[in-house]
Amino acid sequence: METNGRRKSSNVDDRRGMSPKKMGGIGGGIGIIIIIIFTLLSGGDLGDVVTNVVNNSGGTETTEQVAYTPTAEEEELADFVSVVLADTEDIWNKLFQEQGMQYVEPTLVLFTDSVSSACGLQSAAVGPFYCPGDYSLYIDLSFYKELRDQFNAPGDFAMAYVVAHEVGHHVQTLLGTSQEVHAQSGNVSEAAYNEQVKRLELQADYLAGVWAHHVQGMGYLEEGDMEEALVAANAIGDDTLQMEARGYVVPESFTHGTSEQRMRWLKKGYENGTLDGSDTFSIPASQL
C-alpha cells in the first residue's frame, strides 16, 4: 500500500510505554502520606492531595510510564497504521454521507503490554480489539510480528486489513448491528448466539473488503496487497486458530468463521465496495 507523504489520522492516541497496573487501592495512611509528599514535591498544593487521593482510592488502576523508545521499524508501522486509519475515515465518512448518515470517527489507541479501556483492563495477549464503549480500536503493534512469525501472514497490508476489520466493528456499532447481536446473549442458546457473532465477524471482514475496494479506487493499492490480506484472513480463521497451541484465548479470532468464509467475505466486500451486499445475517449457514 502506498503511504508516502499521505495524510495520517489525528485520531491516534499513542499510549505506548504507558502500562496501567491493577492496584488494590492505596488504602490508609502510608499511601496518603506518599501522595502528600509526592504532591508537594511536584509543586502541587493540598487541594491536589484531595484530588490525588480521590483518584487513587476509588480507581483501581494507576498508569506507570516506562521509558519507551520505539525502534525505527515500530515508528514506521505506527505511521503506516495512522495512514490506514485516515483512509478508513475518508472512505466511511463518504459512504455514510451517501446514505444520509453521519460517520463518527473512532480513536486508534496504540499500546504496549496492557491497556485500560471502557471494556476493562486488557492485555496485549487478547490481540487487537474494538471497544464500543469508547469508540476505540486498541492495537499493540507487536501483533504485526505475530502475524508474520506465528500466523505466516507477513506484510503491511495484512496489518492494514486487521485495522480495517476493527474499524468494521466500529461501523457495525454506529449502524446498531453489533448491539442487536449482543442483545441476544442469554436470550437464545449459546450455539445460536455464537452463530450470530460469527456472522457479525464475517460482516466486519466484508467491511474491511469495502475499505480495500476504495483504497484501490484511490490508486494506493499495490501489487500483492490483497493477497497479503487474504493470507491473513486465511491464517486467523477459527479452524486454523484451533490448530495453534497458543495457550490463551484470542477474542478477536474466536467465532470468526472458517478461513474460507473469512476470505470469501473479505473478497466480496472488495468486489462490491458498498454497504449493499454486507448482509451476512439473512443467508443460510451453508452459503456463508
Q: Where on the chain is the footprint of Zn ion (CB under 5 A)? A: 201, 204
Least distance CB 6 / Zn ion (angstroms) = 26
Q: Which is nearer to Zn ion, 231 or 233 (CB)?
A: 233
Least distance CB 171 / Zn ion (angstroms) = 12
Least distance CB 74 / Zn ion (angstroms) = 24
Q: Which is nearer to Zn ion, 78 or 167 (CB)?
A: 167
Q: Which is nearer to Zn ion, 52 or 198 (CB)?
A: 198
Contacts of 6 (CB under 8 A, 6+ apart): 83, 86, 220
CA distance 141 to 2: 19
| 158-188 core/surface letters (b: 16 or more CB in 10 A; e: else) | bbbbbbbbbbbbbbbbbbebbeebeeeeeee
Q: Which three cell numbers, joined as nine digits, stand for 4?
A: 508516502
CA distance 169 to 2: 25
Q: Which is nearer to Zn ion, 26 or 199 (CB)?
A: 199
CA distance 110 to 192: 34
CA distance 18 to 214: 35
Least distance CB 253 / Zn ion (angstroms) = 8
User: Do residues 124 and 142 lie in contact, with contact meaning Cβ atoms separated by under 8 Å?
Assistant: yes
User: Do residues 258 and 288 lie in contact, with contact meaning Cβ atoms separated by under 8 Å?
Assistant: no
Q: Which is nearer to Zn ion, 198 or 214 (CB)?
A: 198
Least distance CB 221 / Zn ion (angstroms) = 22
Least distance CB 245 / Zn ion (angstroms) = 22
CA distance 205 to 288: 12
Residue 71, phi then psi, degrees to nearest 5: -75, 165
Q: Which is nearer to Zn ion, 59 or 176 (CB)?
A: 176
